Amino acid sequence: MRQAGRSLFVTLEGGEGGGKSTQARRLTETLRGRGLDVELTREPGGSPAAEALRPLLLTGDAARWSPQAETLLMYAGRDDHLNAVIRPALARGAIVICDRFADSTEAYQGAAGGMPPEFIGVLRKAVVGATEPDLTLIFDLPPEEGLRRAGLRGGEARFESKGIAYHRRLRAAFLDIARRDAARCVVIDATLDPDTVFRTALAAIDAKLGA
Ligand code: TMP
């Protein structure tokens, strides 16, 4: 069994409509039910300053920001979120569950948006540094199905409005990240029923906790 107070940084990633946020809440409740200290957070946002940037990024016209401006705003928020929330939580020995993180910038602004990986890589190294996730769950589903589900859910739609080709590049980008970093990433079939998805996600976390 796991030592109390050993931190774990878990990120949930993937395209639109994969059910990440629901699963993040359920995973948090289950782990808290075992008496563990869990910090549930999200990006863009997660700290007061970064949450103030969130509506600027997620609402309005699809072309409101250039991919470069979007990347810089994502990283400005991430810098604050890491310093204000993620690093303090890990330092006290908590499990951090973060609904999206740096892989989203590589997929959305990089592979799908056209920003060079070197540019994003420099920011990731400078801002994230050693605070890379221990485990990344990638919720995978066909973009047509994800966009259908996200449309039913409603809400902030700026990225959903970018067109099917963009969302196909996104899916391929997340799967590529999983292939390149297989020790950190677990791909989960998000078309399966929510209970099966939950059990798979929890098993992946338990495997890291037990390691
Ligand atoms: P959500 O719908 O999962 O809350 O995510 C909000 C949107 O922000 C989603 O469409 C993906 C996008 N996003 C990026 O484009 N780059 C990033 O770095 C992050 C964290 C999110």
Ligand 1 atom nearest residue 160's Cα: 10
- 8 Å CB contact between 159 and 100: no
- Closest-CA residue, ligand 1 atom 18, reads 105
Ligand 1 atom nearest residue 105's Cα: 18
Candidate from 20, 22, 56, 58 with most ligand 1 atoms within 8 A of CB, to mutate: 58
Q: How confident is the model at residue 120 (pLDDT cuts 50, 70, 90)?
A: very high
In angstroms, the CA 193 to CA 148 distance is 16
Ligand 1 atom nearest residue 21's Cα: 3
Strand ordering across the sheet containing 185-189? 38-42, 95-99, 8-14, 135-140, 185-189
In angstroms, the CA 75 to CA 24 distance is 22
- DSSP helix/strand/coil, 39: strand
For residue 106 the two structure tokens come to 């590589």
What pLDDT does residue 142 have? Answer: 96
In angstroms, the CA 175 to CA 180 distance is 9
Candidate from 100, 169, 177 with most ligand 1 atoms within 8 A of CB, to mutate: 100
For residue 189 the two structure tokens come to 């079939």
Residue list, ligand 1 pocket, CB within 6 Å: 16, 43-44, 58, 74, 100, 104-105, 108-109, 159
- 8 Å CB contact between 188 and 197: yes
Least confident of 107-116, 133-142, 143-152: 143-152
- 8 Å CB contact between 115 and 104: no
For residue 72 the two structure tokens come to 């810089």
Rg over alpha carbons for the chain, rounded to the nearest Å, is: 16
Domains defined for the chain, CATH in brackets: 8-209 (3.40.50.300)
Ligand 1 atom nearest residue 99's Cα: 3
Judge whether residue 5 has pLDDT over 80. Answer: no
Give the residue-averaged pLDDT of 134-160.
Answer: 85
CA atoms within 13 A of residue 14's CA, in its CB half-sphere: 29
Least confident of 57-61, 79-83, 122-126, 174-178: 57-61
- 8 Å CB contact between 30 and 202: yes
